[in-house]
Structure 1
Amino acid sequence: MNKIQSTSKYRLASLAVAVLTLVASQAQAQVAKPYFEFKKPKAVLSSLDVSVGDITPASQVFNASGAYVMGFEGISQYDLTALGKNAIPPDTIGAVGANQYMTTTNGVYGVYDKFTGVRTSRVTDTAFWAAAGQVGASGDSRVMYNSTANRWIAMSFGANVKDLQIAVSDTSDALGSWKSTKFEGYAGMGFGGTADYPTLALDRNAVYIGTNNFAPATAGGANSFRGTTLNVIPLNSLFSAAPSTENMTRFFTPYDGAPGAINADRGFAIQGVNSNKAGSSGKVLATSLFNADTMTYKVNGLLPNSATAASLSASVGIGEKGFESPSDAHQPSVAIAANRNIVAAGDERTSSSIYEANGRIYMVKTVDPTVNGVADESRIRYTVLDANTNAILDQGDIGQAGYDYYQGSIAVNDAGQVVIGYNRSGLDALTGKISFMGQSFSTGVDGHLISKSGELLLKESLTDDYHNGSVFGQASVGRQRWGDYSSVSVDPTDSSKFYLIGEFAREYNNDAGGHPGGSGGSRWGTWVAVIDANVAAVPEPSTWLMLVCGMSAVGFVANRRRRNEGSAS
Structure 2
Amino acid sequence: MKHIHSRSAGGLAIVAAAVLALMASQAQAQTIKSYFEFKKPKMITIEGDLSLDTNGKSAPVFNLASPYVRGFEGISQYDGASFGRNFVPPDTIGAVGATQYMETTNGAYAVFDKTTGNRTSLVSDVAFWATAGQTGTNGDSRVMYNAAANRWVVVAFGGNAKDLQIAVSDTSDALGGWKSTKFEGYAGFGFGATADYPTLAMDTNAVYIGTNNFAPKTNGGTNSFRGTTMNVIPLDSLFNGVAPTTTNMAQIVTPYNGAVGDQDRGFAQQGVNSSSAGSTGTVIATSAFIYDGLGFRVNGLTSSSATGSSATAVSYLGQAAFTTPGAARQPSVAIPQNQRIVDALDERISSSVYEANGRIYMVNTVNPDGDGLDEARVRYTVLDATTLAVLSEGDIGQAGYDYYQGSIAVNSFGEVVIGYNRSGLDAATGKISFMGQSFATGVSGNLVARSGELLLKESLTDDYHNGSLFGQVNAGRQRWGDYSQVSVDPTDPHQFYLIGEFAREYNNAAGGHPGGTGGSRWGTWIAVIDASVVAVPEPSTYGMMFFGLGAMGLMAKRRRRLAAEASLA
TM-score normalised by structure 2 residue count: 0.89
Quick check: 1:397–1:568 contact (8 Å CA) kept in 2? no
In structure 1, the partner of 2:234 is 234
1:361 alignment partner, SS class: strand
1:447 alignment partner, SS class: coil
CA shift, 1:339, in A, is: 5.6
Higher relative contact order (CA 8 A, sep 6+): 2
CA shift, 1:528, in A, is: 0.2
In structure 1, the partner of 2:271 is 272
Quick check: 1:393–1:446 contact (8 Å CA) kept in 2? yes
Of 526, 529, 541, which aligns to 1:528?
526
Alpha-carbon spacing, 1:370–1:412, altered in 2? closer, same or farther (3 Å): same
- Equivalent residue pairs, number: 523
Quick check: 2:64–2:70 contact (8 Å CA) kept in 1? no
Quick check: 2:352–2:362 contact (8 Å CA) kept in 1? yes
CA shift, 1:37, in A, is: 2.5
Q: Does 1:355 align with 2:334?
A: no
**How far apart are the structure 2 equivalents of 1:505 and 1:567?**
31
Question: What amino acid is aligned across from residue 363 of structure 1 in structure 2?
Answer: M
1:75 alignment partner, SS class: strand
Written as runs of structure 1 = structure 2, the 5 A alignment for 1:17-32 is 30-32=30-32
Alpha-carbon spacing, 1:227–1:212, altered in 2? closer, same or farther (3 Å): same
**How far apart are the structure 2 equivalents of 1:28 and 1:390?**
23
In structure 1, the partner of 2:11 is none
Q: Which stretches of structure 1, 4 residues or more, deviate above 6 A after TM superposition?
A: none
In structure 1, the partner of 2:383 is 385
1:536 alignment partner, SS class: coil
In structure 2, the partner of 1:71 is 71
**How far apart are the structure 2 equivalents of 1:54 and 1:255?**
49
Question: What amino acid is aligned across from residue 59 of structure 1 in structure 2?
Answer: A
**How far apart are the structure 1 equivalents of 2:60 and 2:520?**
22
CA shift, 1:57, in A, is: 2.3
2:476 alignment partner, SS class: coil
Q: Does 1:442 align with 2:440?
A: yes
- Per-residue deviation, residues 368-405 of structure 1 (Å, max 9, x unmatched): 0034x642100000000000111111100000000000
Quick check: 1:54–1:78 contact (8 Å CA) kept in 2? no
**How far apart are the structure 2 equivalents of 1:92 and 1:114?**
17
Written as runs of structure 1 = structure 2, the 5 A alignment for 1:181-220 is 181-190=181-190, 192-218=192-218, 220=220
**How far apart are the structure 1 equivalents of 2:80 and 2:543?**
37
Written as runs of structure 1 = structure 2, the 5 A alignment for 1:99-114 is 99-114=99-114
Question: What amino acid is aligned across from residue 276 of structure 2 in structure 1?
Answer: K
Quick check: 1:188–1:194 contact (8 Å CA) kept in 2? no
CA shift, 1:407, in A, is: 0.1
**How far apart are the structure 2 equivalents of 1:467 and 1:64?**
35
Between the aligned residues of both structures, percent identity stands at 69
In structure 2, the partner of 1:18 is none
Task: Identify which range, 339-348 or 288-297, moves more after superposition.
Answer: 339-348
Quick check: 1:187–1:193 contact (8 Å CA) kept in 2? yes
**How far apart are the structure 1 equivalents of 2:197 and 2:53?**
32
CA RMSD of aligned residues (A): 1.9
**How far apart are the structure 1 equivalents of 2:328 and 2:53?**
31
Quick check: 2:30–2:259 contact (8 Å CA) kept in 1? no
CA shift, 1:259, in A, is: 4.2
- Per-residue deviation, residues 182-224 of structure 1 (Å, max 9, x unmatched): 0001135356200000000000000000000011123743100
**How far apart are the structure 2 equivalents of 1:508 and 1:35?**
30
Quick check: 2:452–2:537 contact (8 Å CA) kept in 1? no
**How far apart are the structure 2 equivalents of 1:186 and 1:66?**
47
**How far apart are the structure 1 equivalents of 2:110 and 2:279?**
32
CA shift, 1:275, in A, is: 0.5
**How far apart are the structure 1 equivalents of 2:396 and 2:232?**
33
Alpha-carbon spacing, 1:46–1:162, altered in 2? closer, same or farther (3 Å): farther
Written as runs of structure 1 = structure 2, the 5 A alignment for 1:170-569 is 170-190=170-190, 192-218=192-218, 220-240=220-240, 241-260=242-261, 262=262, 264-279=263-278, 281-338=280-337, 341-371=340-370, 374-538=372-536, 540=538, 565-568=544-547
Alpha-carbon spacing, 1:316–1:81, altered in 2? closer, same or farther (3 Å): same
Question: What amino acid is aligned across from residue 192 of structure 2 in structure 1?
Answer: G
Alpha-carbon spacing, 1:69–1:125, altered in 2? closer, same or farther (3 Å): same
**How far apart are the structure 2 equivalents of 1:234 and 1:56?**
43
Quick check: 2:74–2:525 contact (8 Å CA) kept in 1? yes
1:74 alignment partner, SS class: strand
- Per-residue deviation, residues 130-154 of structure 1 (Å, max 9, x unmatched): 1111111110000000011111000
Alpha-carbon spacing, 1:359–1:29, altered in 2? closer, same or farther (3 Å): closer
Alpha-carbon spacing, 1:380–1:272, altered in 2? closer, same or farther (3 Å): same
Alpha-carbon spacing, 1:225–1:540, altered in 2? closer, same or farther (3 Å): closer
Task: Looking at secondary structure, tell me which structure has more helix per residue.
Answer: 2
TM-score normalised by structure 1 residue count: 0.89
Task: Identify which range, 424-433 or 50-59, moves more after superposition.
Answer: 50-59
In structure 2, the partner of 1:11 is none
Question: What amino acid is aligned across from residue 396 of structure 1 in structure 2?
Answer: G
Task: Identify which range, 80-89 or 47-56, moves more after superposition.
Answer: 47-56
CA shift, 1:39, in A, is: 1.1
CA shift, 1:338, in A, is: 3.2
Quick check: 1:229–1:252 contact (8 Å CA) kept in 2? yes
CA shift, 1:327, in A, is: 0.6
2:79 alignment partner, SS class: helix
Alpha-carbon spacing, 1:336–1:41, altered in 2? closer, same or farther (3 Å): closer
Alpha-carbon spacing, 1:310–1:280, altered in 2? closer, same or farther (3 Å): closer
Question: What amino acid is aligned across from residue 69 of structure 1 in structure 2?
Answer: V
1:204 alignment partner, SS class: coil
In structure 2, the partner of 1:12 is none
2:131 alignment partner, SS class: helix
Quick check: 2:28–2:260 contact (8 Å CA) kept in 1? no
Question: What amino acid is aligned across from residue 33 of structure 2 in structure 1?
Answer: K
Question: What amino acid is aligned across from residue 465 of structure 2 in structure 1?
Answer: H
Alpha-carbon spacing, 1:534–1:340, altered in 2? closer, same or farther (3 Å): farther
**How far apart are the structure 1 equivalents of 2:239 and 2:315?**
32
In structure 1, the partner of 2:89 is 89
Alpha-carbon spacing, 1:115–1:562, altered in 2? closer, same or farther (3 Å): farther
**How far apart are the structure 1 equivalents of 2:486 and 2:53?**
31
Question: What amino acid is aligned across from residue 331 of structure 1 in structure 2?
Answer: Q
**How far apart are the structure 2 equivalents of 1:45 and 1:282?**
43
CA shift, 1:43, in A, is: 4.0
**How far apart are the structure 2 equivalents of 1:144 and 1:280?**
22
**How far apart are the structure 2 equivalents of 1:480 and 1:489?**
27
Quick check: 2:439–2:531 contact (8 Å CA) kept in 1? yes
2:329 alignment partner, SS class: coil
